[in-house]
Amino acid sequence: MNILRKYWPDLGLLAAVVTVIGIAVNHRFMSELSILLWLNLVAILVHQFEEYRWPGYFGGLFNVILFRSEQPRHYPLNPQSAMIINLLIAYVFYLLPLLFPHVIWLALGPILMGFFQLIWHGGFANLKAKTWYNPGLFAALTLHLPIGGWYIHSIIEQGLIDPIDWILGSAYFAAAVYLLIIKGNLWLKDPHSPFDFSDKQMGPYLRR
């Protein structure tokens, strides 16, 4: 568990690289929507690497800027809770649509999550921190936005989506945000957590 807790972002980036290679080798045998969903998985894995490894100071931003924590190294977010929440997002919420690529509403949830990441990192977090960048924004701009836009364009152009898909997809996205992000952080927060973010993960928000 200690190894996983320390290296899960790196393993995620490795999985992203392997996925890209797999797409490059097999793209002729894959549908457009399938390729986009695999790329969407790559996007969230890169996003998580950006948040927690390089530059990696999302934990510091979250605890210091958003929650004004008096124990910012481990409260309310800590390395254990960050790992659990992010693994569930990537390997359940994002991976599940790959098993059922023709269930449009199921795929729409993670696509909408990508747009949400852009709004959250590019708008809310930057405004709170009074910055132009925070970890996660680069992936949101260069991966989530174009992949999501391409996917939406494709399903509309091919006539694959109807109003019920929009409703179910939006509900699925909202449920994921509520259960995995909002409630997940509430359930897993621990003021006595033994798991601390490193100096690097605190970044410019490190208090000495």
Q: pLDDT tens across 29-38, in order?
A: 999 999 999 9
Burial class (CB in 10 A: 0-12, 13-18, 19+), 207: exposed
Any idea which residue has 């729409």 for tokens?
Answer: 108
pLDDT at 135: 98
Q: Which residues of the chain have pLDDT under 70?
A: 208
pLDDT at 207: 73
| 59, 202 Cβ separation under 8 angstroms | yes
**Cβ-Cβ contacts under 8 Å for 9 (sequence gap 6 or more):** 48, 49, 51, 52, 53, 56
pLDDT at 1: 79
Give how many domains the chain has, as a whole number. Answer: 1
| Cα separation values, 41 from 23, 107, 147, 164, Å | 12, 11, 10, 24
pLDDT at 194: 96
Largest Cα–Cα separation, the chain: 57
pLDDT at 2: 86
- Cα 102 from Cα 108, distance rounded (Å): 11
Residue-range definition of the domain harbouring residue 107: 2-205
| 42, 16 Cβ separation under 8 angstroms | yes
